[in-house]
Amino acid sequence: MMWYWTNGGAHWWAWLFSGVGMIVFWALVIWLIASLVRRSGNGRPSAPGPDAETPEAILQRRFAAGEIDAEEYRHRLDVLRGVTTGVG
């Protein structure tokens, strides 16, 4: 019994079912891969390693390279350390 064949070809609903099935299959595959990637990272950015520069070290490097002057260096260092200057 070949109830879905008409004149050597499939009915329109067979083509529709095949197309929709293929789209659903690939959507599930992509969703699965995305879920595994998200779960492996646990959704959080990784913590800085032991080789990561501290904010003060970055500031010192910028001052040494001449990117900032002494006044800006002292001001930013005070801000990092939480020192209030009493200006105002």
* Containing structural domain, residue 13: 5-41
Give me the number of domains the chain comprises.
Answer: 2
* pLDDT tier for residue 12 given thresholds of 50, 70 and 90: confident
Task: Specify the pTM.
Answer: 0.40
How many angstroms separate the CA atoms of 51 and 57, rounded? Answer: 12
What's the pLDDT score for residue 84?
A: 72
Cα 48–49–53 angle (5° rounding)?
75
- The reply to whether 62 falls in a domain is yes
pLDDT of residue 15: 83
What integer best gives the mean pLDDT of the chain? 82
Does residue 63 fall inside a structural domain? yes
Residue 47 in domain: no
Confidence band, pLDDT 50/70/90 cuts, at residue 43 = low
Examine the domain organization and report whether 37 and 59 are in the same domain: no
Q: What is the rounded (10 degree) CA torsion for 80, 85, 86, 88?
A: -90
pLDDT computed for residue 4 by the predictor: 55
List 9's β-bridge partners, or say none: 6
The verdict on 9 and 37 lying in the same domain is yes
Q: Is residue 65 part of a domain?
A: yes
